[in-house]
Amino acid sequence: MVVFINGSFGVGKTTVARLLRGALAGSAVYDPELFGFVLMRLAKWTTFKRPAADDFQNFRLWRRSAVGGVRLFRLLFRGPVIVPMTFSRREYFDEVVAGVRRFDPEVRVFCLRAGLPTVEKRLAGRETESEGPGADWLARRIVECAEAHRDPHFGEPVETDGRPAREVCEDIFRRVVSRQ
Protein backbone atom coordinates (compact mmCIF):
# COMPACT_ATOMS: atom_id res chain seq x y z
CA MET A 1 0.00 0.00 0.00
CA VAL A 2 1.07 3.58 -0.70
CA VAL A 3 -0.33 6.44 1.36
CA PHE A 4 0.09 9.92 -0.12
CA ILE A 5 -0.22 12.79 2.34
CA ASN A 6 -0.95 15.82 0.16
CA GLY A 7 -1.40 19.37 1.42
CA SER A 8 -0.01 22.86 1.45
CA PHE A 9 3.41 23.82 2.72
CA GLY A 10 3.13 24.20 6.48
CA VAL A 11 -0.04 22.15 6.89
CA GLY A 12 1.75 19.32 8.73
CA LYS A 13 2.37 16.63 6.08
CA THR A 14 5.83 15.61 7.26
CA THR A 15 4.85 15.58 10.93
CA VAL A 16 1.75 13.49 10.23
CA ALA A 17 3.74 11.16 7.94
CA ARG A 18 6.29 10.50 10.70
CA LEU A 19 3.56 9.82 13.24
CA LEU A 20 1.77 7.55 10.79
CA ARG A 21 5.00 5.64 10.21
CA GLY A 22 5.08 4.85 13.92
CA ALA A 23 1.47 3.65 13.81
CA LEU A 24 1.66 1.44 10.70
CA ALA A 25 3.85 -1.62 11.23
CA GLY A 26 6.70 -2.03 8.74
CA SER A 27 6.00 1.29 7.05
CA ALA A 28 8.48 3.83 5.71
CA VAL A 29 8.37 7.49 4.74
CA TYR A 30 9.63 8.41 1.28
CA ASP A 31 9.94 12.16 0.65
CA PRO A 32 10.40 12.88 -3.07
CA GLU A 33 10.89 16.57 -2.34
CA LEU A 34 14.47 15.84 -1.25
CA PHE A 35 15.46 14.86 -4.79
CA GLY A 36 13.54 17.91 -6.02
CA PHE A 37 15.79 20.21 -4.01
CA VAL A 38 18.86 18.49 -5.44
CA LEU A 39 17.45 18.78 -8.96
CA MET A 40 16.83 22.51 -8.54
CA ARG A 41 20.43 23.03 -7.45
CA LEU A 42 21.73 20.96 -10.34
CA ALA A 43 19.62 23.02 -12.73
CA LYS A 44 21.38 26.17 -11.54
CA TRP A 45 24.84 24.64 -12.04
CA THR A 46 24.30 22.96 -15.39
CA THR A 47 23.13 23.90 -18.84
CA PHE A 48 20.75 20.99 -19.38
CA LYS A 49 17.31 21.85 -20.70
CA ARG A 50 15.07 22.89 -17.86
CA PRO A 51 11.56 24.25 -17.47
CA ALA A 52 11.16 27.99 -17.25
CA ALA A 53 9.46 27.77 -13.85
CA ASP A 54 10.79 27.78 -10.32
CA ASP A 55 9.23 24.50 -9.17
CA PHE A 56 10.96 21.12 -9.41
CA GLN A 57 7.62 19.46 -10.12
CA ASN A 58 7.88 21.00 -13.59
CA PHE A 59 10.80 18.65 -14.28
CA ARG A 60 9.60 15.46 -15.91
CA LEU A 61 12.68 13.80 -14.44
CA TRP A 62 11.46 14.67 -10.94
CA ARG A 63 7.99 13.25 -11.55
CA ARG A 64 9.51 10.03 -12.86
CA SER A 65 11.91 9.85 -9.93
CA ALA A 66 9.01 10.31 -7.50
CA VAL A 67 7.31 7.23 -8.97
CA GLY A 68 10.61 5.30 -9.08
CA GLY A 69 11.41 6.17 -5.47
CA VAL A 70 8.02 4.95 -4.27
CA ARG A 71 8.54 1.74 -6.23
CA LEU A 72 11.96 1.20 -4.64
CA PHE A 73 10.56 1.77 -1.15
CA ARG A 74 7.71 -0.70 -1.85
CA LEU A 75 10.35 -3.30 -2.68
CA LEU A 76 12.44 -2.56 0.41
CA PHE A 77 9.73 -2.30 3.08
CA ARG A 78 6.98 -4.76 3.97
CA GLY A 79 4.50 -2.13 5.18
CA PRO A 80 2.91 0.92 3.60
CA VAL A 81 5.05 3.60 2.00
CA ILE A 82 3.98 7.03 3.23
CA VAL A 83 4.67 9.91 0.82
CA PRO A 84 4.30 13.50 2.07
CA MET A 85 4.05 15.75 -0.97
CA THR A 86 2.48 19.03 -2.04
CA PHE A 87 0.55 18.66 -5.28
CA SER A 88 -1.64 21.48 -6.55
CA ARG A 89 -1.32 20.91 -10.30
CA ARG A 90 -3.79 18.25 -11.34
CA GLU A 91 -1.74 16.92 -14.27
CA TYR A 92 1.36 16.34 -12.11
CA PHE A 93 -0.67 14.80 -9.32
CA ASP A 94 -2.42 12.48 -11.79
CA GLU A 95 0.86 11.51 -13.48
CA VAL A 96 2.57 10.51 -10.22
CA VAL A 97 -0.43 8.74 -8.68
CA ALA A 98 -1.16 6.85 -11.93
CA GLY A 99 2.52 5.88 -12.17
CA VAL A 100 2.42 4.42 -8.66
CA ARG A 101 -0.87 2.62 -9.30
CA ARG A 102 0.78 0.73 -12.19
CA PHE A 103 2.82 -1.30 -9.68
CA ASP A 104 0.69 -0.92 -6.54
CA PRO A 105 -3.04 -0.53 -7.09
CA GLU A 106 -3.60 -0.03 -3.36
CA VAL A 107 -3.01 3.73 -3.22
CA ARG A 108 -4.67 6.01 -0.68
CA VAL A 109 -4.44 9.78 -1.00
CA PHE A 110 -5.26 12.14 1.83
CA CYS A 111 -5.22 15.92 1.55
CA LEU A 112 -4.48 17.86 4.73
CA ARG A 113 -6.30 21.17 4.71
CA ALA A 114 -6.18 24.26 6.88
CA GLY A 115 -7.08 27.91 6.52
CA LEU A 116 -4.41 30.38 5.40
CA PRO A 117 -4.05 31.91 8.89
CA THR A 118 -3.31 28.45 10.32
CA VAL A 119 -0.78 27.63 7.60
CA GLU A 120 0.94 31.00 7.99
CA LYS A 121 1.11 30.54 11.78
CA ARG A 122 2.59 27.04 11.41
CA LEU A 123 5.19 28.27 8.91
CA ALA A 124 6.14 31.09 11.28
CA GLY A 125 6.37 28.57 14.11
CA ARG A 126 8.97 26.59 12.25
CA GLU A 127 10.79 29.81 11.42
CA THR A 128 10.19 29.69 7.68
CA GLU A 129 11.35 32.94 6.16
CA SER A 130 8.41 35.25 5.47
CA GLU A 131 10.68 37.82 3.87
CA GLY A 132 13.62 37.61 1.52
CA PRO A 133 14.38 35.16 -1.27
CA GLY A 134 11.63 32.62 -1.80
CA ALA A 135 9.06 34.36 0.42
CA ASP A 136 6.97 35.54 -2.54
CA TRP A 137 7.05 32.05 -4.05
CA LEU A 138 5.93 30.47 -0.78
CA ALA A 139 3.16 33.04 -0.22
CA ARG A 140 1.88 32.46 -3.76
CA ARG A 141 2.04 28.68 -3.38
CA ILE A 142 0.13 28.46 -0.08
CA VAL A 143 -2.72 30.50 -1.61
CA GLU A 144 -2.61 28.31 -4.73
CA CYS A 145 -2.72 25.16 -2.58
CA ALA A 146 -5.59 26.43 -0.43
CA GLU A 147 -7.65 26.96 -3.58
CA ALA A 148 -6.66 23.71 -5.31
CA HIS A 149 -7.14 21.55 -2.23
CA ARG A 150 -10.81 22.44 -1.97
CA ASP A 151 -11.16 19.95 -4.83
CA PRO A 152 -11.49 16.38 -3.48
CA HIS A 153 -9.57 15.20 -6.57
CA PHE A 154 -6.38 15.93 -4.58
CA GLY A 155 -7.22 13.40 -1.88
CA GLU A 156 -9.64 12.53 0.86
CA PRO A 157 -9.99 15.79 2.82
CA VAL A 158 -8.56 15.86 6.33
CA GLU A 159 -9.17 19.12 8.16
CA THR A 160 -6.27 20.16 10.40
CA ASP A 161 -7.42 23.54 11.75
CA GLY A 162 -7.43 23.37 15.54
CA ARG A 163 -6.29 19.74 15.60
CA PRO A 164 -2.95 18.49 16.89
CA ALA A 165 -0.88 16.35 14.50
CA ARG A 166 -1.44 13.21 16.61
CA GLU A 167 -5.21 13.54 16.21
CA VAL A 168 -4.84 14.03 12.44
CA CYS A 169 -2.60 10.95 12.31
CA GLU A 170 -5.16 8.89 14.23
CA ASP A 171 -7.88 10.00 11.82
CA ILE A 172 -5.84 8.88 8.79
CA PHE A 173 -4.77 5.67 10.55
CA ARG A 174 -8.42 4.71 11.17
CA ARG A 175 -9.28 5.37 7.53
CA VAL A 176 -6.34 3.30 6.28
CA VAL A 177 -6.90 0.28 8.49
CA SER A 178 -10.66 0.28 7.93
CA ARG A 179 -10.00 -0.49 4.26
CA GLN A 180 -7.35 -3.17 4.68
Instruction: State the pTM of this model.
Output: 0.86
Please name which of 22, 17, 19 lies closest in space to residue 32, comparing C-alpha atoms: 17
Domain boundaries, the chain: 2-174
The three state secondary structure string of the chain is CEEEEEECCCCCHHHHHHHHHHHCCCCEECCCHHHHHHHHHHHHHCCCCCCCCCCHHHCHHHHHHHHHHHHHHHHHCCCCEEEEECCCCHHHHHHHHHHHHCCCCCEEEEEEECCHHHHHHHHHHCCCCCCCCCHHHHHHHHHHHHHHCCCHHHCEEEECCCCCHHHHHHHHHHHHHHCC
| Fold designation for 2-174 | Rossmann fold (3.40.50)
What pLDDT sits at residue 17?
97
pLDDT tens track of the chain, all 180 residues? 999 999 998 899 999 999 999 999 999 999 988 776 666 666 666 655 555 556 777 778 888 999 999 999 999 999 999 999 999 899 999 999 999 999 999 999 999 999 888 888 877 766 555 444 456 777 888 888 888 999 999 999 999 999 999 999 999 999 999 876
